Amino acid sequence: SADFDWSEISPTIFGAVFESTLNPETRRSGGMHYTSLENIHKVIDPLFLGALEKELAEICAVTVVKTKEKRLKAFQEKLSSLTFLDPACGSGNFLTETYLSLRKLENIVFTELAHHQISFVFESDSPIKVSLNQFYGIEINDFAVTVARTALWIAESQMIKATEDIIKVHIDFLPLKSYAHVTEGNALRMDWETVVPKDKLNYIMGNPPFVGYSNQSSEQKSDMLKIFDGVKSAGKLDYVCAWYKKAADMMKLSSIKTAYVSTNSITQGEQVAILWKPLFESGIHINFGVQTFRWDSEATEKAAVHCVIVGFSRQKTEHDLNPYLLKAPTVFIESRSKPICDIPTMQKGSIPVDDGNLIIEEEDYSQFIKSEPNSQKYIKKLLGAEEYLHNKNRYCLWLVDADPNELQKMPKVLERIKNVREFRLNSKKEATRKYADNPTRFMEIRQPNSDYILVPSHSSENRKYIPIGFLDKNIISTNANLIIPNASIYHFGILTSNVHMAWMRAVCGRLKSDYRYSKDIVYNNFPWCNPTDNQKQKIEQTAQAILDARAEYPDCSLADLYGEKMYLYPKLLTAHQNNDRAVMQAYGFTTKMTESECVAELMKLYQDKVDDIKG
């Protein structure tokens, strides 16, 4: 009712209360992630609010009263002319906080006018010009629509009270008179212009749903394919990408600006080229961005999501970023099956597909050897990323050249082989069933005949260097690692350097925010330097010094050596720093370069290599 005191209720907390009423499954399937005030401002401040605040501060500093009055009133008109759309508005937090922010600016206008004792001439029944009619939302959940409208009404009521306190005049207000334009529906199946015409719209903003491509429902997949009709590999895009495409289409021939929060996957790895290449070709520019950070909400059950913020429009600015959110040339690092430089091929490790039967865990090893002593010559050390990084022991039966007569005499081994065969025969995959006739072997064998470099596929973001290593050809690597057969100490030196790590951090995919190294994006696209003989020799020496330094800490795992406390191992850290300098010298880079400047140079080199390949 009109007598209810809304002043103590925070509109955004009101939205958070709604979040907590939804069960986690509803939230997960809808890709819902709600938003703290701090994070809302990471979107709206660079999009429009920062510039408005600066403009008002400049007006407030004017000393000529008549000029100031004229400019204050013009500024108030400007505030009331802006129109906003949140096409995935949830409980309305972005709309509500934007409305509150604009009304606070308008209240500063009133305060300044009151300070100069300028009388308020009411053209209608209120001097307030900023209204809920400037705010539009689309939301698929019917209850959320009601919550969003109510949150906006609460905000309106509170701001009217704040204005009354400034101008000392009562303003009639009944909250439910105002209309909040929040439309219920699936934003991906709607023409947004039916909600708000684009010639009336200034800003699109929000926090669209995050659903990875592998978790999308058939309905969501169908929406995606319609929106990205004709875009190659669109099936690999996250759900949030559809909101980018819809906004970009609406922005054609207009000065609308957009900023969204998104999962960081859209500015990393394979998705970058799929999403951004067509958008850039259509005239989109990224005007600002916030690199990966952890996104928290006001809800009690916080969803830990790793996000970026991307602000884009069809206007070019001097601060434009490339699709990796770097101040660097606009390049698209596309998936590539072969390296762009003349270097050894990288491949995945071997894959058993054996239901664990060819693998011998550390705790079973002694007992197995005891009960089947003749098997020992066929047992090799097996390394996944976990074993490699944490010095754990695991073993496997490597029966590639095993003598069938010997196998017949080892019942424990035979039993395991029989289990592998049955497991593969019962598989739903035809390719796996075919391998049932080869039960003594890993299904995919990629073990090299030479020693090799190993790169773990996943690695913590807290490491400055991914712990890359040289391994003996008799140690079997699983597909949790990538391997480079026939690689030299020089290759190791380049790959373990800060130059390569900077490239990896910029272009690799992420798991949450941890590194996900890939051969097709990171390794095959990396532009290698052309060192002089002296430079190459120097890199070989500094690379060897890294391996020597590691050997001085025999009781430490690579996870220990390369953790956040790498400074506890000064010999290793110094060895890496010397190697970094040697590699940077070979690239012609100075040690004063920042990481992003280094990546910008690498992206230029990459573009040159790609142009050479195209000829």
| CA pair distance 202, 266, nearest whole angstrom | 24
Q: Give 462's pLDDT tier (boundaries 50, 70, 90).
A: confident
Q: Which two tokens stand for residue 387?
A: 């074993």
Q: What is the pLDDT of residues 319-328, one digit of tens each?
A: 999 999 999 8
Backbone dihedral angles phi then psi of residue 454, each to the nearest 5 degrees = -115, 135
Backbone dihedral angles phi then psi of residue 286, each to the nearest 5 degrees = -90, 110
What is the mean predicted confidence (pLDDT) over 516-531?
Answer: 95
H runs (alpha helix) in 354-436: 362-371, 385-390, 404-408, 411-425, 430-434
Q: Give 80's pLDDT tier (boundaries 50, 70, 90).
A: very high
Question: Per mean pLDDT, which of 18-22, 180-184, 400-404, 491-495 is the most reliable?
Answer: 491-495
Q: Give 27's pLDDT tier (boundaries 50, 70, 90).
A: very low
Q: Give 17's pLDDT tier (boundaries 50, 70, 90).
A: low
pLDDT of residue 421: 96
pLDDT of residue 1: 43
Among 338-352, 448-462, 546-560, name the one with the lowest average pLDDT.
448-462
| CA pair distance 413, 138, nearest whole angstrom | 62
b/e string for 227-256 if b means 16 or more Cβ within 10 A? bbeebeebebbbbbbbbbbbbbebbeeeeb
| CA pair distance 400, 200, nearest whole angstrom | 70
What is the mean predicted confidence (pLDDT) over 28-46?
Answer: 76
| CA pair distance 440, 458, nearest whole angstrom | 29
Other C-beta atoms within 10 Å of 606: how many? Answer: 21
Give how far Cα 539 sits from Cα of 314, 553, 579, Å: 45, 22, 6
What is the mean predicted confidence (pLDDT) over 571-579?
Answer: 97
- Is the pLDDT at 560 greater than 50, yes or no? yes
In which residue are the tokens 């491509």 written? 213
| CA pair distance 268, 72, nearest whole angstrom | 44
Give how far Cα 507 sits from Cα of 95, 334, 355, 455, 536, Å: 33, 10, 34, 16, 26
Q: Which residues contact 60 (CB under 8 A, 6 or more apart)?
A: 68, 108, 112
Q: Give 32's pLDDT tier (boundaries 50, 70, 90).
A: low
Task: Return the SS3 of 396.
Answer: strand
CB 481 within 8 A of CB 388: yes
pLDDT of residue 202: 98
**Helix H or strand E encompassing 305:** strand 305-313
- Is the pLDDT at 184 greater than 60, yes or no? yes
What is the mean predicted confidence (pLDDT) over 180-189?
Answer: 93
Q: What is the pLDDT of residues 210-246, one digit of tens each?
A: 888 888 999 999 999 999 998 888 989 999 999 999 9
Q: What is the pLDDT of residues 367-398, one digit of tens each?
A: 999 999 999 999 999 999 999 999 999 999 99
Q: Give 31's pLDDT tier (boundaries 50, 70, 90).
A: very low
Mean pLDDT of the residues in the chain: 90
pLDDT of residue 449: 92
Q: Give 121's pLDDT tier (boundaries 50, 70, 90).
A: low
Question: Which of these, 547, 539, 482, lies nearest to 508 by C-alpha position?
Answer: 482
Q: Give 301's pLDDT tier (boundaries 50, 70, 90).
A: very low
| CA pair distance 368, 361, nearest whole angstrom | 10
| CA pair distance 342, 164, nearest whole angstrom | 73
H runs (alpha helix) in 131-270: 142-167, 218-227, 241-250
| CA pair distance 97, 106, nearest whole angstrom | 14
pLDDT of residue 581: 97
